Amino acid sequence: MSTSDHAHASFAVSVPDAELEPEPLDPEQIVSGDPVVTGKVLWESADGTQVRGIWQITPGVVTDTEADELFVVLSGRATVEVEGGETLEVGPGSAAVLRAGDRTLWTVHETLRKAYHINL
């Protein structure tokens, strides 16, 4: 079933087993290490304002500017420092909410895989 088919049907996906596609990082985001990002969009609203999917990053340290996002970590561990805000320790079973525009520093300790919903 293609991503577009999911917009019209209920579905289930094995997140740990899902095959992900490369999502190259901007080299300017990499602070240290050699992190590799992969992901898969499972569903996107017709107007492109909402996206649901799976995302994975291998160990390293990266910066990011966040979208309005809810995610649940399935595996791995990371420390997410929000500039001017909290430091989030996330691991298997953690649910986290990021605000649009948050500037973050991700220190990925163990390859992290999450399922997410983003509002753009």
Q: What is the pLDDT of residue 62?
A: 98
* Residue 46, SS3 per DSSP: coil
C-alpha span between 38 and 16 (Å, rounded): 13
Residue 9 pLDDT > 70, yes or no? yes
Which residues partner with 79 through β-bridges? 89, 107
Q: How far is CA 5 from the centre of its chain?
A: 22
CA distances from 84 to 2, 97, 101, 102, 105 (A): 40, 16, 12, 9, 11
Bin 103: left if φ > 0, else alpha if -120 < ψ < 50, else beta: beta
Range of the domain at 77: 3-119
C-alpha span between 98 and 96 (Å, rounded): 7
**What total number of domains does the chain contain?**
1
pLDDT tens digits along 47-92: 999 999 999 999 999 999 999 999 999 999 999 999 999 999 999 9
Q: Is the pTM of this model over 0.85?
A: yes
Q: Span 87-103, mean pLDDT?
A: 98
Within 13 Å and on the Cβ side, how many CA atoms surround 64? 20
C-alpha span between 110 and 76 (Å, rounded): 5
CATH assignment of the domain containing 110: 2.60.120.10
Q: State the pLDDT confidence band at 8, using cuts at 50, 70 and 90.
A: confident
Question: Is residue 52 within 8 Å of 117, Cβ to Cβ?
Answer: yes
Q: Identity (one letter) of the amino acid at 21?
A: E
